[in-house]
A and B are shown apart, each in its own frame.
Chain A
């Protein structure tokens, strides 16, 4: 009887597409499989893709978005969102550039940028938790406030005369760009924070079920504020790297970066509904976006088409997330 049953299982398995199994595989390996596929595709369609110069270029290009994506991963796991990443990046980067121009100290410049980033995060986090308003609305407000502030401060013109500031974004340690090293450090630190510390666990718990977290002695508001501060600091690091690479404080920089960062995070498997996600996925997600951007550039595809393609990618990624979650859901 049992053997009979087992035989039937084997006979039936290949004849039908098993949705549940596909969902389980996608949830585990989806991002990495997609990344592999895109790498192969990129090297096939463009002979220039696999050159060392181009790959270093791709890495340099993804650094800023990856930094933002690491921060916003914490925010999204908490079932919150931050759409002010690009503006906050511009504000922090310009403040850093301006302090650099005034004092000539790289360290002071970076410290000033990070402080402003932490401050914007603190403000967003506090307003969201104290007044209970949706993070989308608060960070939308922060988007225009931060952009307005940076334009007001600079009068709309770039900050120049930055001296050694460019070392952060342009310098290399041997063959490896310093900005890539910064990203590596940030990514590893974010991973450790999320997976190996109490704070990381509380982020998952609050994102999954804030009421259960509260009843288990976790203060959800505190975790949310901390995550927004962290997110602000990573925006600032992104700003410093970007302004240093272009060697001037550009008040109009970073427009639309939040979109790439959120796309990278979601493509990387972090659910917009909160409670699940990880940094490894986010970094791979950012790489996927970077490689797609790079390949389309190599192929001379217009930037308008690039926007359309990126829009489709985020829609498909969210559809796959929702769909595989539903298909993989167990009994209740």
Chain B
């Protein structure tokens, strides 16, 4: 094979990676040009994360070659990639929270006081001044002595980028960097990315947000099922083309919302208060209705949902279900009443990752299969299989460990868990965050089906199109308070944003 051309900083050829029972990467190719932003797109489970793990040396490759800056790269572990100038900013950051910015940036390679025994002692003064120089050069206004704990997620991300640059990275991988930060912070990040390009740093950018792709991409590579689909300049792409290449089909309608008959009030919350978190919250959901709960990150939406579901205590207020005053002391009480909640963090609160798909699906409704002491295996298995088919969960079998599935399929498991029970009210917290377009649309369709069956849905979402596209009514929260309620006909991006940012409607 020929050596790669010189304007190509990274070339991955024929990369194949197998995990037990799964072919994660199948002869995948990727070419990244110097000083460009290369957006890598694909549904969840397409293999993007695995490809990046292979590139950064976290996973080994079974077949294929990697060329970086014209040289063949043999990756034995994560340190090799780092030392060669490849850094990755992970979706979930893991800074040492109780250390300062400077200490985090120089973690593992602290400047020392001198030679001999002195080389055992950290030179904090130099560390702080070096960090300051670095921050100044990048135009960032942080004090190197600030503890990481006191920074926002977006700031931590920027510090990770500073760290990568301080290591001399010429290729930075960013895995969904905007999934947990505000719009203003996204602007800050994008400015920084433009600046990186000017300093001859190439960026591989993984995202699910279509609007972002066209704002920053120079090139786009689409992958599906571990395979290369297509790659081209971003200018030759539009949204429809990206989506159709990702899913291998054209998605006709993005939001399948239908009007279904709205029934009696299922949930009514009045003056709900949890000291220091939210106060005086009123909201209600009727049978067959999809109610959106909008607001900025940190507005207290998740906390209200957790309180309704019995996960967090409340200090004041009233919760009525079907007209009856209720207070759930624990999720077990809520579930008995037909209330279910899909958490925004499926790994932390949705799934038992080390157990099988089957066990996860049946966990909340085992009593259905075990009227006495023993579980009826046959009934459990057939019901779980029915859910796997209904939600089109892609898994080799029901006994595969949940950890081995992609994010979108894991989310479907969490939803399947609740569909097995007798559902009256479903609380969905960011049901489609970090999920590929195909699964997203399937989950939206499912919501409509559930509404048609008379189930009430309370959906928290930070994506305005989703709120507007799916909701019959929208409640908007800001800083722990309920700012207002909008009918579907009145709900516009402008109206919601005005309420969410604390303005009056």
Contact = CB atoms under 8 A, between A and B. Distances in A.
17 contacts: A197-B373, A197-B374, A197-B375, A198-B367, A201-B363, A202-B366, A212-B350, A216-B364, A217-B331, A217-B334, A218-B363, A219-B330, A219-B332, A328-B20, A330-B19, A331-B47, A331-B50
Given A20-B19, A20-B20, A214-B311, A330 B404 contact: yes
Interface stretch (B341-349, B461-469, B484-492): B341-349
Interface in B393-425: 401, 403-404, 406, 417
B364 A217 contact: yes
A177 B74 CA distance: 61
Contacts of A209: 348, 351-354
A276 B374 contact: no
Contacts of A328: 20
Contacts of A212: 348-352, 363
Contacts of B24: 330-331
B35 to A, nearest CB: 30
Contacts of B403: 329-330, 332
Interface in B360-397: 362-364, 366-367, 370, 373-375, 377
Nearest to A329: B403
Contacts of B22: 330-331
Given A205-B355, A331-B50, 8 more contacts: A24-B20, A204-B359, A205-B352, A209-B353, A216-B364, A217-B330, A219-B332, A330-B24
Contact of B49 (A208, A219, A329, A331): A331
A318 interface: no
Interface residues of A, number: 32
Contacts of A201: 359, 362-363, 366, 375
Given A197-B373, A331-B50, A214 B363 contact: no
Contact of A215 (B18, B349, B374, B406): B349
Q: Which of A197, A202, A216, A332 has the most CB of B within 10 A?
A: A216
A25 to B, nearest CB: 10
Interface string A186-208: 00000010001110011011001
B349 A331 contact: no
**10 A-B pairs closest in CB distance:** A330-B404, A208-B352, A217-B335, A217-B332, A275-B354, A216-B364, A209-B352, A331-B50, A330-B19, A208-B354
Contacts of A219: 330, 332
A21 B350 CA distance: 29
Please indicate which of the listed interface residues B352, B354, B362 has the most CB atoms of chain A within 10 Å of its own CB.
B352
Given A201-B375, A218-B332, A332-B403, A208 B343 contact: no
B395 to A, nearest CB: 11
B7 interface: no
Interface string A4-31: 0100100010000000110010000000
B63 interface: yes
Interface in A305-332: 328-332
Nearest to B401: A330
B209 interface: no
Interface of B: 18-20, 22, 24, 27, 47, 49-50, 53, 59, 63, 309, 311, 330-332, 334-336, 341, 343, 348-355, 359, 362-364, 366-367, 370, 373-375, 377, 401, 403-404, 406, 417
A213 B352 contact: yes
Given A196-B374, A198-B375, A212-B350, A205 B363 contact: yes
Given A197-B373, A330-B22, A331-B19, A213 B353 contact: no
Nearest to B26: A5
B355 A5 contact: no
B19 A197 contact: no
Nearest to B51: A331
A149 B364 CA distance: 42
B63 A8 contact: yes
Interface string A252-289: 00000000000000000000000110000000000000
Contacts of B343: 215
A5 B62 CA distance: 12
Contacts of A8: 63
Contacts, number: 104
A219 B349 CA distance: 14
Given A213-B363, A214-B330, A217-B335, A196 B351 contact: no
Residue among A208, A215, A217, A329 having the largest count of chain B Cβ atoms under 10 Å: A215
A219 B352 CA distance: 15
B407 to A, nearest CB: 8
A276 B309 CA distance: 29
Central interface residue in A8, A12, A209, by most chain B CB within 10 Å:
A209
Given A204-B359, A331-B22, A211 B63 contact: no
Contacts of A204: 352, 355, 359
Contacts of B334: 217
A205 B332 CA distance: 15
B349 A198 contact: no
Given A196-B375, A275-B354, A215 B311 contact: yes
A193 to B, nearest CB: 9
B246 to A, nearest CB: 18
Contacts of A21: 20
B57 to A, nearest CB: 14
Given A20-B20, A215-B349, A331 B330 contact: no
A328 B404 CA distance: 10
Contacts of A196: 374-375, 377
Contacts of B63: 8, 12
A211 B348 CA distance: 7
B353 A208 contact: yes
Contacts of B349: 211-212, 215
A178 to B, nearest CB: 27
A274 to B, nearest CB: 8
A215 B311 CA distance: 7
Contacts of A20: 18-20
Nearest to A193: B373
Contacts of A24: 20
A196 to B, nearest CB: 5
B405 to A, nearest CB: 8
Contacts of B377: 196
Contacts of B406: 331
A213 B417 CA distance: 12
Given A8-B63, A275-B355, A331 B404 contact: yes
